[in-house]
């Protein structure tokens, strides 16, 4: 005979993605979830629009997508920069998966400075870019890109990453490797790029890859002294387990905690918003970085997303000082803004 109770209990523990269980999905979708959430988190009732204003002053968003890009974005560089200026933010860094974004960042900076000179804005936000490497890790290309003004980040491969496609069960689609699969060593061209980043004092976003590649990268980053962050490791896109994030953070890598998946999203509709808070508390705010990763056309605008994200973090128990560490101090360290 079948043990229906045992089968039902086992079904509740089935995974939806790497860590989310069927049981947790049921809890998140329960009729009384909203009321239980308020009961468990009474600070939600203390949150109001504008509570984030002081934290946004001097804030840095080190991971934004803006138009022009290879797909439409919800805002262009200048529109986002104006919103950030009005919020009193310190700096922005615009990501391009494929190309150099530092040139457009320089022009956006010139426009912000012009508006300040005209008296239409009062606060100067710093605008930075960098380069993506989806076409491959090419030290010669990076060497040229580093000569651009307003260059502060190198983003490792995303859509073309071997580690990403291996994690998706389709390794044959992965074009760009970071680590030799046989020896487990970081490839020479990747090491050269990391050395250039350390020398030129720019940060690295480690892209969409799996733990098998990330661990040797983190060890080498520590040896070289380069500063790097995990790109949205809580998104199912390139999901890491908590123990994996802890190992990487212990080696000096920042853990990126972005608006997704805490803010409900059409891009990942099945997620546990509370996982972000639990991860920050487990890793420690001193090893986490806050960014928006917004700019997608089906999301709210980037700075608005950051506002909601800050409110949510405060609502679910994080201290203002902890948010300031992740939003102001750590991104400045990542991009060497105070060095």
Residue 246 DSSP SS3: helix
Q: Spell out the domain ranges in the chain.
A: 42-334
Of the candidates 268, 269, 267, 230, which has an alpha carbon nearest to the alpha carbon of residue 252? 230
pLDDT tens figures, 192-237: 999 999 999 999 999 999 999 999 999 999 999 999 999 999 999 9
pLDDT tens figures, 53-69: 999 999 999 999 999 99
Of the candidates 73, 92, 100, 78, which has an alpha carbon nearest to the alpha carbon of residue 155? 100
Considering the entire predicted model, what is its pTM?
Answer: 0.95
pLDDT tens figures, 67-110: 999 999 999 999 999 999 999 999 999 999 999 999 999 999 99
- The answer on pLDDT for 142 being more than 60 is yes
- Sequence-separated contacts (24+) of 17-26 with Cβ below 8 Å: 17/236, 17/239, 17/270, 18/236, 18/239, 18/241, 19/239, 19/241, 19/242, 19/275, 20/270, 20/271, 20/272, 24/272, 25/270
Residue range 42-334, CATH number: 3.20.20.140
**How much is the average pLDDT of 329-339?**
96
Question: For position 1, what pLDDT does the model report?
Answer: 47
- The answer on pLDDT for 264 being more than 90 is no
DSSP letter, residue 336: T
């Amino acid at each position: 005979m079948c043990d229906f109770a045992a089968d039902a209990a086992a079904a509740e523990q089935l995974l939806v993605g790497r860590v989310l269980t069927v049981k947790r999905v049921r809890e998140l979708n329960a009729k009384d979830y909203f009321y239980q959430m308020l009961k468990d988190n009474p600070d939600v009732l203390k949150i109001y629009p504008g509570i984030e204003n002081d934290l946004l002053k001097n804030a840095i968003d080190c991971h934004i997508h803006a138009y022009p890009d290879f797909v439409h974005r919800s805002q262009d560089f200048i529109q986002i920069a104006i919103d950030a200026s009005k919020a009193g933010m310190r700096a922005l860094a615009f990501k391009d998966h494929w190309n150099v974004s530092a040139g457009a960042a320089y022009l956006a900076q010139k426009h912000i400075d012009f508006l300040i000179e005209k008296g239409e804005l009062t606060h100067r936000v710093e605008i930075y870019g960098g380069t993506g490497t989806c076409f491959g890790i090419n030290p010669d290309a990076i060497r040229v890109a580093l000569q651009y003004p307003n260059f502060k980040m190198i983003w490792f491969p995303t859509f073309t990453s071997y580690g990403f496609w291996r994690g998706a069960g389709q390794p044959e689609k992965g074009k760009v490797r970071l680590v030799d699969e046989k020896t487990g060593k970081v490839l020479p061209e990747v090491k050269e790029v990391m050395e250039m980043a350390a020398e030129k004092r720019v940060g690295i976003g480690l892209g969409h890859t799996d733990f098998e590649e990330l661990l040797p990268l983190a060890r080498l980053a520590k040896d070289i002294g380069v500063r790097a962050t995990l790109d949205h490791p809580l998104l199912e896109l390139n999901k890491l387990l908590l123990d994996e994030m802890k190992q990487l953070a212990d080696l000096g890598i920042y853990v990126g905690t972005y608006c997704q998946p805490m803010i409900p999203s059409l891009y990942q509709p099945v997620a546990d918003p509370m996982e972000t808070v639990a991860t920050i508390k487990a890793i420690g705010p001193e090893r986490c970085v806050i960014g928006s990763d917004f700019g997608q056309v089906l999301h709210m605008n980037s700075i608005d997303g950051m506002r909601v994200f800050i409110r949510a973090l405060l609502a679910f128990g994080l201290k203002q000082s902890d948010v300031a560490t992740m939003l102001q101090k750590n991104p400045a360290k990542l991009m060497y803004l105070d060095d």
